Each structure stands twice: as C-alpha cells, then as structure tokens.
Amino acid sequence: MLITSLLPLLSRYSLGFDLVAGPDDTVTLTVIPRKAAGAKQAPEASEVRPISITAAAGEIDAELAKGEEGALGQLIVARKSLSDQLAEQRAAAEAAKTAAASKAKPAAAPAKAATPAPAAQPAPAAAPTPVPAKPGEPASLW
C-alpha cells in the first residue's frame, strides 16, 4: 500500500524514505520528496518538504491501507494539486514574459531608427523679479 499511496508523488519527484523506531513500539516514517532526475525546473521549497508520520506500526499500516482516503493519501493529493497549480503559474508567467519581450522588440526597433531631430525651442522668457515686501507684510511669491 505504501508505493500505491505514493504514486502521485513518484510521477513528479524522486522519493527518499527514513524509518526510525521510537519508544513504546512507535515508528516514524518520513517521506522526503526530491527533484526528479531529468526535471527541467527545481521544485519549490514547499514542494519538497518532508512528510513525517509517527504512530504504532499497525496504525501506519492501517492508514496506508486507506490509500487516497487516508491522511497520507489526502496530503499527497493536496500537494500534487498545489504542484500542478505552481506549474501552471510558472507556464503562464513564462508565456507573459515571452509575449512582453516580443511586443517590446518591434516597438523599440523603429524608435531607434526614426529618432526625430530636436526642434529649435525658443528661449524661455526671463522670470519676473519679485516685488519687495512692504514693511509689516509677508513676502509674496506671486
């Protein structure tokens, strides 16, 4: 049941396992997702966070026997869904980046080729000199 429960993760990641015996006949099973061999994109830190279960060996077996209905199965399905969403967002961001770059190239090329010569600007008029303030009144900027 363990491998069947982990198939959704195996389709996207390489998995490592750690099995540790604890006190009172408990066992800790840790599943460690890693970047799959040949994967183009490195997974996000949240995608490769280890999944750890600590319980009696029989309880872990019973939970794994539930498949997708068990806690591990539901967690794996949720992670796969989030991973799919991340992949879609990456693809959309890459497409938007490519579209923006392709729009910027044609607009930038004609601007360089057809730069108009600056027109002669008339000299600005001299600014009026401020009127001195009368005694007892504040100075005016107008």
Other Cβ atoms within 10 Å of 21 Cβ, number: 9
- Note the pTM of the prediction, 2 decimals: 0.51
Q: Which amino acid is at 99?
A: A
Q: Which helix (H) or strand (E) holds 85?
A: helix 71-113
- CA 91-94-95 angle, to 5 degrees, is 85
58-109 tens-digit pLDDT: 888 888 778 777 777 777 777 777 777 887 888 899 899 988 888 887 655 5
**Residues 6+ positions from 56 with CB-CB distance below 8 Å:** 25, 26, 27
The answer to whether 64 and 2 have CB atoms below 8 angstroms apart is: yes
pLDDT for the residue numbered 16: 87
Please report where in the chains the tokens 């108009």 appear, as a residue: 116
The answer to whether 33 and 13 have CB atoms below 8 angstroms apart is: yes
